[in-house]
Amino acid sequence: MINLEDKKLGIYTLAISTKAKHIHGHFDLLVYLKNKQGTKSKGPCISGLYSKGRKDASYHFFDAWFFPLIHFEDSTVNLIDKKLTDGLFELIGTIIKPGGQLYLSYISDVLFSRRMDKAFRIGIPPVATVLGRLVFMSGCIHIKSFYGAEGRFRIEGEKPKDTETAVKWANKMLNEINAYLDLKEGKESSGDMDMIYDGKMKERLLRIIAQNVT
């Protein structure tokens, strides 16, 4: 089910801890890193509630928190600086079936919450935000956010069940980005735009459309 143990991530490998919940098919899932010496990180890089869901993938989700700073006994690793986040979330995507969802929360992280707040204030679509990119890399390409609604501060993504749906959702995300860029045209950009807006997301969406349209 959760086949992530010992998967490679750069010079590190993943270590998994799970604990069954009272609800059938629900687990606490924590993802740690192990260094070359086999030492496990003090805390997880991802933790959350994993639901196996039903056969049709309904109620199948991973409601997760991401922690980019990983501490070992004698060192600290920043997964963003080491460019390991894409690979990490591609691995996370292997445990999410088509039709499943990934929820990625950010309110507890000062850095992410500041960047996400700014992104939404200036109208950046969820798919092109810092966390939106990570959810996208898991294959959950239909991305949205309920920014502040009902106390929720997270990015949500759903994995398409078929190529037709993938193309439909990619076009929808692409339209959101184009609308944002049209509004942004002629306006000054802040100096930290690269930290809150993923300028390569449009290219990724176009690639999905090109690969699935015959």
Question: 22 is written with which tokens?
Answer: 């009272």
Question: 135 is written with which tokens?
Answer: 């959810």
Q: How far apart are CA 169 and CA 165, in angstroms?
A: 6
Query: Is the pLDDT assigned to residue 50 strictly greater than 90?
Result: yes
E strand or H helix that includes residue 158: strand 154-158
Find the radius of gyration of the CA atoms of the chain.
Answer: 17
Best CA proximity match to 173, nearest among 141, 198, 199? 141
Give per-residue pLDDT as tens, 65-86: 998 889 999 999 999 889 999 9
Phi-psi region of 191 (alpha: psi -120 to 50; beta: other; left: phi over 0): alpha
Question: Distance from first CA to last CA of the chain, Å, rounded?
Answer: 33
CB 142 within 8 A of CB 164: no
Give per-residue pLDDT as tens, 89-145: 999 999 999 999 999 987 555 666 777 778 888 888 999 988 899 999 999 999 998
SS3 letters across 93-114: HCCCCCCCEEEEECCCCHHHHH
Best CA proximity match to 72, nearest among 46, 44, 39? 39
Query: Is the pLDDT assigned to residue 87 strictly greater than 60?
Result: yes
Scanning 5-157, the segments in alpha helix (DSSP H) are 85-93, 110-121, 130-137
Query: Is the pLDDT assigned to residue 166 strictly greater than 60?
Result: yes
Query: Is the pLDDT assigned to residue 188 strictly greater than 50?
Result: no
User: What pLDDT is recorded for position 95?
Assistant: 95
Question: 196 is written with which tokens?
Answer: 């809150």
Average pLDDT, the chain: 87
List beta partners, residue 47.
30, 65
Banded pLDDT at 197 (limits 50, 70, 90) = confident
Predicted structure pTM score: 0.88
Instruction: State the pairing for strand pair 61-66/101-105.
Output: parallel
Greater model confidence, 125 or 190: 125
Give the least confident one: 13-17, 23-27, 187-191. 187-191
Query: Is the pLDDT assigned to residue 150 strictly greater than 60?
Result: no
Q: How far apart are CA 196 and CA 177, in angstroms?
A: 14
Hey, is 87 helix, strand or coil?
Answer: helix
User: What pLDDT is recorded for position 148?
Assistant: 58
CB 116 within 8 A of CB 106: yes
User: What pLDDT is recorded for position 130?
Assistant: 83
User: What pLDDT is recorded for position 54?
Assistant: 84
User: What pLDDT is recorded for position 159?
Assistant: 96
User: What pLDDT is recorded for position 186?
Assistant: 47
Q: Is the dihedral of CA 56, 49, 19, 95 positive or negative?
A: positive
Greater model confidence, 202 or 57: 202
